[in-house]
A and B are shown apart, each in its own frame.
Chain A
């Protein structure tokens, strides 16, 4: 069982603020790192898959970086909007099909 930690557990920001969260994972036997956004009553939405150390991905105002040597990934949101309110999940991929999920960071953006 791989332990994936996310911090903070929850975050409240004002509209327009930029924010970031952390995903920590064991650096040995790394395969892939996934980020998802999960809004209440909806399906988890895939944001990024990263496989290489130093990877950076961007989708609109959201970006992510990966450091496999030290075992962490950061997710950044620039200029948060109320519609960004969701739980952000990271997960380690494996060759055995399963994803190992963290508990998520719950983001609330106040107008």
Chain B
């Protein structure tokens, strides 16, 4: 069974540009989560999508947005990039979303903002 996949693996942008990160969940999973790990910090929750709807978002500015497609894949968009957006972005998926389900993680996209 294929795991969660993310693309690209690395992304280099300049300040003010937009970045688009993509995630494909495990087949059959309907929930997709996005997390950020900035340098020196732990994993911080960004967004949760379930059945095509945004269900919850973390304490991040509106520049961080995304969507979930009918095939349950997801896209994270970061507008007006700032230097501090440089981080590892992890996507995870789960079957259901009641809190006790395991979230399975992808390998991440490392974003560098210059």
Contacts and interface: CB of A to CB of B under 8 A. Distances in A.
B99 interface: yes
Interface residues of B, number: 29
Interface stretch (A20-28, A61-69, A76-84, A100-108): A100-108
Contacts of A46: 102-105
Q: Is the interface of A mostly helix, strand, loop or mixed?
A: loop
Contacts, number: 68
Interface of B: 3-4, 31, 33, 35, 41-45, 48, 50, 55-56, 58-59, 90, 97-108
Given A49-B102, A97-B97, A99-B43, 4 more contacts: A95-B99, A96-B56, A97-B50, A97-B99
26 contacts: A1-B59, A31-B99, A34-B103, A42-B107, A43-B3, A43-B104, A43-B106, A43-B108, A44-B90, A44-B105, A45-B105, A49-B102, A51-B100, A89-B42, A93-B100, A96-B55, A96-B56, A97-B50, A97-B56, A97-B99, A98-B58, A99-B43, A99-B45, A99-B103, A101-B43, A104-B42
